[in-house]
């Protein structure tokens, strides 16, 4: 008995030594984020596996060496960063003093220590051309990347979904390529956009509703299962990203900053800054609203619609805001200062819609935040910004549309990325919509319901034709549904 026990103990120690000696891998690949004309962030998360293990991708401590080069192979910068448990084993490098409109390659070496490095994932990207360069700029906008609905989580309450949306829950994806992840990502990669915008609902902490993710390990797991999918790894190795968050990847459905439920507002913000390359790793005070000058013709604004908002249940009026005083002032100031031909506000939530009448959490909703929307639209007219090419692109809504507000402001909705998370929307004049009077014009309304994304392309002008801005809606399988050119 003693000998048997000793053998078992020895075997366990040997096994532990072997497991401990295992070198980390980059299970969720590499991601480039927040590219400007002169800077970029690049991150890698170290893990024990490159696939899901009991629904997660366990992290692993170690180091990542980032080697930034030009496309010809000339070294630009090299830095080694530890991957620690307190940051979910994510190592993030911040590269500065880059050249506008230049292409770069970021090689990595990964290992358990600096003396055990081996080749890791590689990313390529182009810095933004910036205000002085005329250039074609193409980017995609997505929302509603619901992992549970796509893969068919049996814990989703299908009856509740029917009651809330007055439509049956779409079937999970059943194609033979399901293990690769969302089909639309393959189309996006084939289009070679300059960047990818996730407008929020990038993961769903509250799908399934029971049990929903509340604690930090559960919140992190949602990001791990999402980004380990092969099509995400392939896409992010070639296309840099910009991120916003919305209700489902902040706290709960239609959530604000009230209530003592988990995750807390602080945890929601922490997860955004930890999991997504929005700011340098040590920038704890980072502004999650920002603007980037993509080219001489194009400037893009990314607003923050959850962290600074008033309670949803507060009476609508001058004191109620989604943006907060500081962000609103910044938005107006930077819009007024911009001399870009095309100005695009990328909003996590809609400002025109129409949306469901029952809701109270966005700028379209009665008893929501309409006063702020109306005041902003009036300012657009008074300031002269609306006289130029100013457009809103929004996420959140699970259907695609192009809507025109009575003031003339136009909005393009990206729609949900996957069929399994798509639905038919509310049309102008629908008594169950936020526009029962039918005052909104809607040149495009997606029907039948399907997933997909929006491609935006800015083309510089020439002697023969003016600058052009195109809005192109695609479905989940990559078919063009609608093309609109300004």
At residue 393's C-alpha, the angle toward residues 388 and 213, to 5°, is 155
**Could you tell me the CATH superfamily of domain 23-126?**
Purple acid phosphatase-like, N-terminal (2.60.40.380)
- 103 has pLDDT over 80: yes
Helical residues (DSSP H) of 310-398, grouped into ranges: 325-337, 370-383
How crowded is residue 466: how many other Cβ atoms within 10 Å of its Cβ?
10
- 57 has pLDDT over 60: yes
Contact (Cβ atoms closer than 8 angstroms) between residue 89 and residue 59:
yes
Contact (Cβ atoms closer than 8 angstroms) between residue 142 and residue 395:
yes
- 16 has pLDDT over 80: no
| Cα–Cα dist 87/101, whole Å | 31
How confident is the model over 434-442, as a mean pLDDT?
A: 98
* Nearest Cα residue to 427 out of 417, 414, 418, 436: 436
Confidence of residue 161 (pLDDT cuts 50, 70, 90): low
How confident is the model over 315-321, as a mean pLDDT?
A: 97
> For position 164, what pLDDT does the model report?
54
Q: What are the phi and psi torsion angles at 76 (to 5°)?
A: -105, -45
Sketch the domain layout of the chain as residue ranges. 23-126, 137-202+288-485
- Among the four given CATH numbers 3.60.21, 1.10.3470, 3.30.1370, 3.30.70, the one describing domain 137-202+288-485: 3.60.21
| Cα–Cα dist 199/396, whole Å | 7
- 68 has pLDDT over 50: yes
- 477 has pLDDT over 60: yes
| Cα-Cα-Cα-Cα dihedral sign, residues 252, 418, 216, 123 | negative
> For position 166, what pLDDT does the model report?
61
C-alpha 158: how far from chain center: 26
> For position 463, what pLDDT does the model report?
82
Q: Is the pTM here over 0.85, yes or no?
A: yes
Q: What is the DSSP string of 199-254?
A: -S-SS-TTSSSTTPP-SHHHHHHHHHHHHTSHHHHHHHTTS-EEE---STTTSSTT
Task: Show Cβ contacts of residue 292 under 8 Å, excluding neighbours closer than 6 positions.
Answer: 35, 36, 128, 242, 299, 300, 302
How crowded is residue 336: how many other Cβ atoms within 10 Å of its Cβ?
11
How confident is the model over 19-48, as a mean pLDDT?
A: 92
| Rg (the chain; Cα; Å) | 23
How confident is the model over 460-483, as a mean pLDDT?
A: 95
């Amino acid at each position: 008995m003693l000998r048997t026990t000793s053998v078992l103990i020895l075997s366990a120690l040997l096994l532990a030594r072997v497991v401990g000696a295992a070198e980390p891998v980059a299970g969720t690949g590499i991601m480039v984020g927040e590219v400007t004309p002169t800077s970029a962030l690049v991150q890698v998360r170290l893990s024990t596996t490159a696939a899901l293990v009991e629904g997660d991708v366990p992290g692993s401590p170690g180091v990542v060496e980032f080697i930034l080069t030009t496309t010809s192979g000339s070294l630009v910068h090299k830095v080694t960063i530890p991957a620690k448990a307190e940051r979910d084993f994510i190592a993030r490098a911040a590269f500065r003093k880059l050249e506008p409109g230049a292409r770069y390659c970021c090689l990595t070496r990964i290992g358990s220590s600096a003396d055990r490095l081996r080749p890791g994932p590689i990313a390529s990207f182009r810095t933004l051309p910036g205000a002085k360069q005329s250039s074609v700029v193409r980017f995609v906008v997505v929302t509603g990347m619901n992992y549970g609905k796509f893969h068919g989580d049996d814990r989703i309450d299908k009856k509740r979904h029917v009651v809330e949306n007055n439509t049956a829950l779409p079937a999970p994806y059943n194609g033979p390529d399901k293990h690769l992840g969302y089909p639309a990502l393959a189309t996006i990669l084939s289009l070679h956009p300059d960047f990818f915008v996730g407008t929020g609902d990038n993961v769903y902490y509250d799908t399934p509703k029971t049990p929903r993710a509340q604690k930090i390990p559960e919140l992190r797991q949602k990001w791990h299962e999402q980004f380990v999918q092969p099509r995400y790894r392939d896409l992010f190795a070639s296309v840099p990203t910009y991120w916003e968050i919305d209700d489902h990847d902040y706290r709960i459905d239609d959530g604000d900053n009230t209530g003592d439920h988990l995750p807390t507002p602080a945890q929601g913000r922490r997860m955004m800054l930890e999991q997504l390359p929005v700011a340098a790793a040590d920038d704890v005070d980072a502004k999650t609203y920002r603007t980037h000058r993509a080219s001489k013709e194009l400037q893009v604004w990314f607003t923050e619609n959850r962290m600074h908002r008033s309670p949803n249940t507060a009476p609508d009026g001058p004191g109620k805001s989604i943006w907060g005083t500081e962000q609103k002032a910044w938005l107006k100031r930077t819009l007024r200062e911009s001399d870009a031909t095309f100005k695009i506000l990328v909003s996590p939530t809609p400002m025109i819609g129409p949306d469901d009448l029952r809701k109270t959490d966005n700028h379209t909703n009665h008893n929501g935040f309409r006063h702020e929307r109306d005041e902003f639209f009036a300012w657009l007219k008074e300031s002269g910004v609306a006289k130029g090419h100013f457009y809103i692109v929004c996420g959140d809504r699970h259907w695609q549309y192009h809507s025109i507000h009575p003031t003339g402001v136009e909005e393009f909705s990206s729609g949900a990325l996957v069929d399994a998370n798509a639905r038919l929307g509310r049309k102008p004049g629908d008594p169950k919509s936020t526009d029962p009077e039918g005052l909104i014009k809607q040149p495009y309304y997606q029907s039948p319901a399907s997933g997909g994304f929006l491609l935006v392309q800015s083309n510089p002008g020439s002697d023969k034709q003016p600058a052009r801005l195109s809005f192109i809606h695609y479905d989940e399988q990559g078919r063009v549904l609608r093309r609109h050119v300004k």
